[in-house]
Amino acid sequence: MAIERTFSIIKPDATARNLTGAINALIEQAGLRTEVDQTGNVIGTLLGASFGATAGANPGGTSLTPASRDTVMLSAHLDTVFPAGTDVKVQHDGDRWIAPGISDNSTGLAALIALARAFHAAQIKPQLNVLFVANVGEEGEGNLRGMRALIDAYGARLKAVIVLDGSSTDHVTTKALASRRMEAVITGPGGHSWSDFGMPNPINALVRGSVRFIATKVPAAPRTTYNLGQIEGGTSINSIPHEARLKVDIRSESESELTRLESALRDCISAGVRDEMEAARDRSKGKLEFKVELLGSRPGGELRPDSPLLAALRAADDYVGNQSRPERSSTDANIPLAQGIDAISIGAGGNGGGAHSLQEWYDPAGREIGLQRAFLTLVAMSGIAPTK
Ligand SMILES: [Zn+2]
C-alpha cells in the first residue's frame, strides 16, 4: 500500500529537519519543481495554463511574481509537537496504526503527495497555478510562521488555500479560532532550602498566581478556554529556585474574551508575586521580578458563506457521498482567513485520534473518500486547461 511506504519515509520530527529533504524528493518525484523558502517551507509549483499570460510573469522559474488571484495553494504542515528523538516507529493494533504524529500530520503530508502524484499521473494541466506546500511552524510555538511567510510571499495572488490537517472527512474548518500563547517568568535570588528558608520563592509565587488565574470564569458562549500547558523551574529539591516559568494557551471565539483573559493572567501573576513577597519572612536578600509575555497570537477570521471555495467543497462532498459540518478551530487557515483570502482546513481521510499524545492512532479505512474530496475541491478551484 502506497501510504504505508510514504509513512515509512515521513517520520515526524519536531525540528522538521529530517522531513524537509524527504518531502522535497517526494514532491519532485511527482514531476514538480521544488524550492525550500527561507522559513523552511517546501514548495512544489505546478504552473497553470494561464501562467505567462500576465505581464511580469516568470515562466522560467518556480518563483511566481505578483498578478491577480491566479494561484491555488494546497498545504500540509510538516512539524509535530513531539521533541526530536521521539520513537515514531509505527505499531499495529488491529486496523489501527499507532505512532506520534501519524494523524497530525503524516496523513496530511501523505495526501499532499498523493494529490501531486495524481496530477502528474493523469497529466492534468490546471488553468491556475497550483502550489503544493509542506509548511513549517503550525504546532507548538511555531505561531504559524510557515503560513505567515507563504501568505507574505503569495497572498496577493492566492485565489484559495486548502489546508490538509489530520484525518477524517466529517468537518470543514471555515472559521478561524483566535488564540494567544503566553509565558510568565518569575525570577528571584534563590538560595538554600534550610538556611535561606523564608526568602521569596519564584515557584511559590507562580503557584499562587496560577491558583488565582484558574479561578477566572470563562463563558460557555462565546466559547473560551485556557490551558496551563507547561510549568518548569528550579534546579534541585533542596534549593530555593531562582526561576519559574509557565506557558498558557488561551482560545476564544471572541477577541475581547482573549484580551480579558490575557490581562487576567497578567494581573494574577502580578498578584501571586505580591502575595509571595508579602508572605516572605526574609526580604533582605532580594525580591522577585516577573514578566508575562505574548509568545504568539493567532488571528481570527471567517470564510464568506458564498465563497466559491466552500461551494467547491460542498460539490465534492456531494459527489463522493460525504457529509461534513462547518466548524471553527485554530489551523494554518487562520492566516489567510484573517487577511480575507478564501481558505479551509480539512482532514485527509481515514480516521484518527489521540492527537498530540504518544498513543496517537490512524485507521486508513475510507481514506480514498478524503483524497477524492480534497482532489475534487482543488481541481474545482484550479480549473483544468482544455486539451489541445
Ligand atoms: Zn496538525
pLDDT, tens only, 166-186: 999 999 999 999 999 999 999
Read off the pLDDT of each residue in 360-367 and give the average, rounded to a whole number.
Answer: 95
CA of 136 to the centre of ligand 1 (A): 11
The pLDDT value given to residue 341:
97
H or E element in which residue 23 lies: helix 17-29
DSSP 8-class letter at 126 = B
Contact 163, 207 (CB under 8 A): no
Match 525580591 to its residue by C-alpha cell: 287
Spatial separation of the C-alpha atoms in residues 90 and 105, rounded to whole Å:
14
> Which triple of cell numbers denotes residue 304?
464568506
Read off the pLDDT of each residue in 56-74 and give the average, rounded to a whole number.
Answer: 68
Given pLDDT bands bounded at 50, 70 and 90, which one contains residue 142? confident
CA of 76 to the centre of ligand 1 (A): 8
> Which triple of cell numbers denotes residue 288?
522577585
CA of 385 to the centre of ligand 1 (A): 32
Report how far Cα 330 is from the mean position of its chain's Cα atoms: 7
Percent of the chain with pLDDT over 70: 91
- CA-CA-CA-CA torsion for 63, 66, 69, 75, nearest 10 degrees? 30
CA of 108 to the centre of ligand 1 (A): 8
CA of 12 to the centre of ligand 1 (A): 12
CA 156-161-162 angle, to 5 degrees, is 170
Predicted structure pTM score: 0.81
The pLDDT value given to residue 56:
43
> Which triple of cell numbers denotes residue 233?
523551574
CA of 195 to the centre of ligand 1 (A): 49
Closest CA relative to residue 138, chosen from 298, 371, 362, 357: 298
CA of 55 to the centre of ligand 1 (A): 37
CA of 226 to the centre of ligand 1 (A): 19
CA of 77 to the centre of ligand 1 (A): 7
- Is cis: bond before 305, omega within 30 of 0? no
- In this predicted structure, the answer to whether residue 261 has a pLDDT above a threshold of 60 is yes
Given pLDDT bands bounded at 50, 70 and 90, which one contains residue 52? low
CA of 291 to the centre of ligand 1 (A): 30
- In this predicted structure, the answer to whether residue 61 has a pLDDT above a threshold of 80 is no
Closest CA relative to residue 106, chosen from 82, 122, 129: 82
CA of 135 to the centre of ligand 1 (A): 11
The pLDDT value given to residue 387:
77
- In this predicted structure, the answer to whether residue 155 has a pLDDT above a threshold of 70 is yes
Given pLDDT bands bounded at 50, 70 and 90, which one contains residue 66? low
Contact 174, 309 (CB under 8 A): no
Closest CA relative to residue 327, chosen from 112, 180, 169: 169
Mean pLDDT score of the chain, rounded to an integer? 91
CA 165-166-172 angle, to 5 degrees, is 65
Spatial separation of the C-alpha atoms in residues 231 and 236, rounded to whole Å:
15
pLDDT tens column, 181-217? 999 999 999 999 999 999 999 999 999 999 999 999 9
Contact 130, 74 (CB under 8 A): yes
CA of 53 to the centre of ligand 1 (A): 36
Read off the pLDDT of each residue in 41-58 and give the average, rounded to a whole number.
Answer: 75
CA of 138 to the centre of ligand 1 (A): 7
Query: Residue 378 — φ and ψ, nearest 5°?
Result: -65, -45
CA of 271 to the centre of ligand 1 (A): 36
Match 520563592 to its residue by C-alpha cell: 201
Report how far Cα 74 is from the mean position of its chain's Cα atoms: 14
CA of 74 to the centre of ligand 1 (A): 14
CA of 324 to the centre of ligand 1 (A): 19
CA of 167 to the centre of ligand 1 (A): 9
Spatial separation of the C-alpha atoms in residues 115 and 255, rounded to whole Å:
36
Given pLDDT bands bounded at 50, 70 and 90, which one contains residue 50? confident
Contact 127, 382 (CB under 8 A): yes
Q: Report the greatest alpha carbon distance in the chain.
A: 87
pLDDT tens column, 83-105? 877 888 889 999 999 999 999 99
CA of 148 to the centre of ligand 1 (A): 16
CA of 142 to the centre of ligand 1 (A): 12
Spatial separation of the C-alpha atoms in residues 260 and 101, rounded to whole Å:
33
H or E element in which residue 243 lies: strand 243-252
- In this predicted structure, the answer to whether residue 388 has a pLDDT above a threshold of 70 is no
Contact 54, 70 (CB under 8 A): yes
CA of 159 to the centre of ligand 1 (A): 23
> Which triple of cell numbers denotes residue 367?
481514506
The pLDDT value given to residue 7:
54
- In this predicted structure, the answer to whether residue 224 has a pLDDT above a threshold of 70 is yes
Q: How many CA atoms lie within 13 A of 307 on its CB side?
A: 22
The pLDDT value given to residue 81:
86
Spatial separation of the C-alpha atoms in residues 356 and 76, rounded to whole Å:
16
CA of 165 to the centre of ligand 1 (A): 5
- In this predicted structure, the answer to whether residue 57 has a pLDDT above a threshold of 80 is no
The pLDDT value given to residue 356:
87
CA of 9 to the centre of ligand 1 (A): 18
Closest CA relative to residue 317, chosen from 368, 271, 374: 374
Q: How many CA atoms lie within 13 A of 238 on its CB side?
A: 2
CA of 105 to the centre of ligand 1 (A): 5
